[in-house]
Amino acid sequence: MEPIKSFDQLTAHLMTLKKRKRIAVVCANDPNTEYAITRAVEEGIAELLMIGDSSILDKYQALKKYPEYVKIIHIEDSDEAAREAVRIVREGGADILMKGIINTDNLLRAILDKEKGLLPQGKVLTHLSVMQIPTYDKLLFFSDAAVIPRPTLQQRIEMIWYAIHTCHSFGIEQPRISLIHCTEKVSAKFPHSLDYVNIVELAEAGEFGDVIIDGPLDVRTSCEKASGDIKGIASPIDGEADVLIFPNIESGNAFYKGVSLFANATMAGLLQGPVCPVVLPSRSDCGLSKYYSIAMACLTCNKD
């Protein structure tokens, strides 16, 4: 498989598979979600289990053309809808879970329920995003801009594993993973930079398989060869990072929102850790971003 380097290549690849994944959508009651799920059905990559208000089909006329791929389960209460969607996924009735306009905390509560939820015991819940940036020549994955405020060493290691698995799904055989800091100096003042030393040692010992992991590196040195050259830094990342692991949620979030706004980047993202991909968009995500997140879920979903 050739590496997927853009969202167009991602959707083209999915369409060649001619296989619909089943998405359980909770409270799909907004125009951007409508755009995303309708396009996924039209392009033959998904079928829908819509859990929530059953009057939705009257609003979403375009979906009426695909009765065989759209099933509606009427549940008025959004918390109950979330629990039912989670139950369906657990029992194998859906491959992917997606949030509509339900409050994130309410859906997370159903996902994190110890007995009836979707997160296996001991698994780390985190968020992995991927951006298509017009000024970068491939997709750029990064974690975690949304869930874990200040990851522990163990959580960082899990974040890296999720990123590696996702890169493999995208056909990237040897992912280049950059551990982000402000500079290239390790310092006890910044405990994450000490974690990075541990992680690079693990990587060099072969713990993560065929990957290139380096850090601490800053964002520019990770993604622009010239920056490293000027500073005299010889990193095996060589300015071509596939993945950026941020030190904390504030830095991941500032990067994501700054670059998406000012560099016209397009974004997709998934919760990592649950037994199935979970599409958990922000209210302000555009329809295209929600659609690409579905596509990312269809690609990385394990069930065939």
- Residue numbers of the site for a second copy (CB under 8 A)? 133, 135-136, 145-146, 149, 180-182, 189-190, 218-220, 223-224, 227, 230-231, 246-255, 257-265, 283-284
Least separation in angstroms between CB 139 and a second copy:
13
Least separation in angstroms between CB 270 and a second copy:
18
Nearer to a second copy, 89 or 223 (CB): 223
DSSP letters for 251-298: HHHHHHHHHHHHS--EEEEEEESSSS-EE---TT--HHHHHHHHHHHH
Least separation in angstroms between CB 62 and a second copy:
22
Least separation in angstroms between CB 131 and a second copy:
9
Nearer to a second copy, 112 or 249 (CB): 249
Nearer to a second copy, 20 or 127 (CB): 127
* Peptide bond just before 144 cis, omega within 30 deg: yes
State how far the Cα of 144 lies from the Cα of 122, in Å rounded to an integer.
Answer: 18
Alpha helices in the chain (DSSP H): 7-17, 31-42, 56-59, 78-90, 104-112, 153-169, 191-204, 219-223, 225-231, 249-262, 287-300
State how far the Cα of 139 lies from the Cα of 246, in Å rounded to an integer.
Answer: 17
Nearer to a second copy, 147 or 301 (CB): 147
User: Which residues, other chains included, contact 48 with Cβ-Cβ below 8 Å and sequence gap of 6+?
Assistant: 22, 23, 25, 37, 40, 41, 63, 69, 70, 71
Measured in whole angstroms, the distance separating CA 191 from the mean position of its chain's CA atoms is: 26
Least separation in angstroms between CB 132 and a second copy:
11
Least separation in angstroms between CB 146 and a second copy:
8
Least separation in angstroms between CB 179 and a second copy:
12
User: Which residues, other chains included, contact 250 with Cβ-Cβ below 8 Å and sequence gap of 6+?
Assistant: none
Helix 153-169 vs helix 191-204: crossing angle, to nearest 10: 50
* Peptide bond just before 247 cis, omega within 30 deg: no
Nearer to a second copy, 260 or 300 (CB): 260
Nearer to a second copy, 154 or 264 (CB): 264
Nearer to a second copy, 63 or 217 (CB): 217
**Are 74 and 49 within 8 A, CB to CB?**
no
Least separation in angstroms between CB 66 and a second copy:
28
- From the list 148, 162, 140, the residue with the least C-alpha distance to 259 is 140
- From the list 65, 133, 78, the residue with the least C-alpha distance to 108 is 78
Nearer to a second copy, 1 or 226 (CB): 226
